[in-house]
A and B are shown apart, each in its own frame.
With several copies, the nearest count.
Chain A
Amino acid sequence: MKPQSEMRSKSSREMIRTIGLHAVLVPLAIVWLFPLWMMMVFSTLPENAIFSAQIQWLPGTHFWANFEQLQADTGFLRTLFVSIMVALVYTVLSVFLTSMAGWALARYHFLGKGMVLAIILGTLTLPYFVVVIPQFIMVARDFGLANTWFALIVPPLFNSLGVLFMRQSFSMMPGELFDAARVEGVKEWKIFLFVAMPMARPTIAALCIILFLASWNNYLWPLLINNQPDMMTAPVALGSLIGLTRVSWGGIMTGAVLLTVPMLVVFVLLQRHFVAGIAAGAIK
């Protein structure tokens, strides 16, 4: 037995596996990145270059021109502003609402707790469509709140997943911690605010990202509840441009890039929380 050559054979087996792995993954990864790349490319091209006989693999120089046209024709910056505001306020409110509910469900015994939990679990499997029509009728017609910040932000606040998520996080915390505070005479709401919430920070970070993303990309509800350009969210505005000749496809792609790139940056920066959030949200 010659150890040296044997060793080579062992590592060469590993080599083959490494190559096989990358032979599968690299092409797939390219396919998966391709639409994103094309989005960037399209956003920098003039209309006639997008609809030309050649494939445009590389970005051009038309980004600003596309953006200016998009902005001039639709006031896209305003819609971005609306989207950001809605997503921010929604996220903050939702985090508090779901945390409070999750806290109550995790840490207290009270009459009706089982029922509340059952309902929340039940709504998880309930398609949103079941409520969208009456929700629309109610908010728009009965409350007369179409085209308002309220309509954009408040109805989507109900979020079962967030509650379960926070409940899980709170019930994982050792109960002794809260007992310790109780023995020290700290009020319940102070325990929630100053002990439980800070401890749930990683969960809350993950939740924030998920909620922000959900709001940022929400399409159906803002599409229905708004018909005024100055209260449109960016995805709705962009969606309304598809199939319109007035704004070039370069402009639409510029909008798509503006919608996507910030999220991608956040994704890269907070990948850990993101992944944790999605995983935890699904696994419970």
Chain B
Amino acid sequence: MAGVTLKNVVKRFGSVQVIHGASLEVEDGEFVVFVGPSGCGKSTLLRIVAGLEDASEGEIEIDGMLVNDVEPADRGIAMVFQSYALYPHMTVEQNLSFGLRMNGNPREDTNRRVQKAAEILRINELMKRRPKQLSGGQRQRVAIGRAIVREPEVFLFDEPLSNLDAELRVQMRVEIARLHSELGTTMIYVTHDQTEAMTLADKIVVLRDGKIEQVGKPLDLYDDPANQFVAGFMGSPKMNFMEASVKSASNGSATVKLVNQGGAMITLPVSDGPAVGDRVTVGVRPEHFRAAGQGDCDIDLNIDVAEHLGSTSYIYANTKSGEQLIVEREESRSEVGLEKLTASIPAQQAFLFDAQGKRLN
């Protein structure tokens, strides 16, 4: 087992720079998830760790050793690919044992490891099948099994679940979490699905355009995002953002006017307060809205569409000036068919961002 350290890693493809100096510390045994929108460089960063791409600049250490020039196979890592990358012409068993066989690993040891991996993943009955004869979830298991038999110190996953359908994805997600707790190995996991990130990670790394935006525990990112991007990225449905301007700012709090809510005012607890007159953004998660009067600032909404899911409902609403908001409500059978709604913002759970998107607190 081993930790992974990145120091100022830069990656250029030709003249295009796609990773702009990423530094990161992954502890031994930690489950780290890279998230970020498509094209932000998650896969690239992971492939640099794997050694499939060379870093243009910077250092990569695994278990305290500089590995920039170590061959991928010698880094003590194993990787699971988005498309599984199973050898289509080999049976499951051959897929699992291929690497060991090719490197002259003793037969018994190979068999033992394959057997163990198969048990961990419950694919014993599939050993004689070809990848084509497997379902998506089974393929995914075999791909993970192939990583397990290497007995690596670090597991790398590149969007391993994105080719599965929703139900299977949830199921495999739980299995991967279980695998991590069983093996206790360091894992680095790439996804663009924030739910996966929230549910799997010990530590989430949010990337954006080749830069690391924030690193932290899932709930910390949820509760305490560093900026508007992270705030918007974590949580589903997305956080609502409302334009506002600062009316007054005192030590430890600021009063802002929600310009699109007919001038409703709200006072938020911020210490590094903004200047009066600044354009700011107020962020409220759909699940944090309260019933009328129970928060610190009531706003009136016209309901566009209400989605009733049984236990909760999402209200898609707009304000007089057309700003779209989503409000989560506990399901109430009596509210079906309503046209208007008054929601209230609790100041403690609202966020304030400056014009550059930086979180103010």
Q: Which of B51-98 contact A (CB under 8 A)?
A: 51-52, 54, 59, 66, 68-69, 71-74, 77-79, 81-83, 85-89, 98
Partner of B69, one of A3, A177, A180, A182: A3
* Interface contact A6-B78, CB-CB below 8 Å: no
> In angstroms, how far is the closest chain B Cβ from the Cβ of A113?
14
* Interface contact B87-A199, CB-CB below 8 Å: yes
> In angstroms, how far is the closest chain B Cβ from the Cβ of A20?
19
Partner of A184, one of B59, B66, B99: B99
Considering the complex, give the chain B residue whose CB is closest to the CB of A200.
Answer: B89
Considering the complex, give the chain B residue whose CB is closest to the CB of A197.
Answer: B89
* Interface contact B89-A10, CB-CB below 8 Å: no
> In angstroms, how far is the closest chain B Cβ from the Cβ of A78?
39
> In angstroms, how far is the closest chain A Cβ from the Cβ of B60?
10
Determine the chain A residues whose CB is within 8 A of the CB of B51 once the complex forms.
183
Determine the chain A residues whose CB is within 8 A of the CB of B158 once the complex forms.
176
Q: Report the Cα distance A185→B72, complex, angstroms.
A: 7
* Interface contact B66-A1, CB-CB below 8 Å: yes
* Interface contact A185-B103, CB-CB below 8 Å: yes
Does any Cβ of B come within 8 Å of A201's Cβ?
yes
Q: Report the Cα distance A3→B67, complex, angstroms.
A: 9
* Interface contact B50-A183, CB-CB below 8 Å: yes
Determine the chain A residues whose CB is within 8 A of the CB of B103 once the complex forms.
184-186
Quick one: given A3-B68, A186-B103, are A174 and B83 in contact (CB under 8 Å)?
yes
Does any Cβ of A come within 8 Å of B150's Cβ?
yes
* Interface contact A179-B69, CB-CB below 8 Å: no
Considering the complex, give the chain B residue whose CB is closest to the CB of A182.
Answer: B72
Does any Cβ of A come within 8 Å of B146's Cβ?
yes
> How many residues on B have C-beta within 8 angstroms of the other chain's C-beta atoms?
32
- Stretch of A90-98, A187-195, A227-235 lying at the B interface: A187-195
* Interface contact A199-B81, CB-CB below 8 Å: no
Considering the complex, give the chain B residue whose CB is closest to the CB of A7.
Answer: B69
Considering the complex, give the chain B residue whose CB is closest to the CB of A3.
Answer: B68
Quick one: given A180-B146, A185-B103, A186-B98, are A3 and B73 in contact (CB under 8 Å)?
no
Q: Report the Cα distance A180→B71, complex, angstroms.
A: 13
Does any Cβ of A come within 8 Å of B166's Cβ?
no
> Digit string of B85-129 for contact with A (CB within 8 Å is 1, else 0)?
111110000000011101100000000000000000000000000
* Interface contact B85-A185, CB-CB below 8 Å: no
Q: Report the Cα distance A174→B87, complex, angstroms.
A: 10
Considering the complex, give the chain A residue whose CB is closest to the CB of B77.
Answer: A183
> Digit string of A150-192 for contact with B (CB within 8 Å is 1, else 0)?
0000000000000000000000001011011111111100100
Does any Cβ of B come within 8 Å of A198's Cβ?
yes
> In angstroms, how far is the closest chain B Cβ from the Cβ of A192?
12
Determine the chain B residues whose CB is within 8 A of the CB of A194 once the complex forms.
98, 102
Does any Cβ of B come within 8 Å of A260's Cβ?
no
Q: Report the Cα distance A176→B99, complex, angstroms.
A: 15
Can you name 30 A-B pairs with beta carbons within 8 Å?
A: A3-B59, A3-B66, A6-B68, A10-B69, A177-B85, A177-B87, A179-B47, A179-B50, A179-B79, A179-B81, A179-B85, A180-B146, A181-B87, A181-B99, A182-B52, A183-B50, A183-B51, A183-B72, A183-B77, A183-B79, A184-B100, A184-B150, A185-B72, A185-B73, A185-B74, A185-B99, A185-B102, A199-B88, A199-B89, A201-B89
Task: With A176-B81, A176-B158 given, name 8 new contacts (CB 8 A).
Answer: A3-B59, A7-B69, A174-B81, A183-B78, A184-B73, A184-B102, A185-B102, A186-B99
Shortest beta-carbon contacts, A-B, top 8: A184-B99, A185-B73, A6-B69, A176-B81, A176-B85, A180-B85, A198-B89, A186-B102
